[in-house]
Amino acid sequence: MKNAYIWILRLITAGILLQTLFFKFTGAPESVYIFSTLGVEPFGRIGSGIAELIAAILILYPRTTTWGALLAAGVMAGAILSHLTVLGLEIMNDGGELFILAVVTFVCAILLIFEGKASLPFFRKS
């Protein structure tokens, strides 16, 4: 049962991360708007897309899930902070969808980190 729970978290997290790559890598208007508003277009858009791709791949591979979750949580923390401080919750009349996806991804990544913390050297007991 626990294995199914972990796989559900992995698939949700990686699925959201991978789904957004199309928009980042094709220069969709929403992505360009976000990263232009943040003052980091196009390098921030492409760089965050690469980080999200790496995180998704690491999450899907069981031995590296926790490392990918750490990366995903970091990227999503930046996205959430950007929404709360600069962008606002709603982007181009999306009803807050991008913000909600960032929060869901962040929460799933944090749960994966706690489930796999024993695999991280700085959480191991001596």
Which residues of the chain carry a pLDDT beneath 70? 124-126
- For residue 77, the model assigns a pLDDT of 98
Residue type, 83: H
- For residue 79, the model assigns a pLDDT of 98
The answer to whether 82 and 40 are in contact (CB under 8 A) is no
Neighbours of 124 (CB within 10 A): 9
- For residue 122, the model assigns a pLDDT of 78
Rounded to whole angstroms, how far apart are CA atoms 26 and 32? 10
- For residue 124, the model assigns a pLDDT of 65
The answer to whether 68 and 58 are in contact (CB under 8 A) is yes
Q: Torsion angle of alpha carbons 12, 20, 107, 93, nearest 10°? A: -120
- For residue 12, the model assigns a pLDDT of 98
- For residue 116, the model assigns a pLDDT of 92
- For residue 125, the model assigns a pLDDT of 66
- For residue 126, the model assigns a pLDDT of 56
Span 55-91, pLDDT tens digits: 999 999 999 999 999 999 999 999 999 999 999 999 9
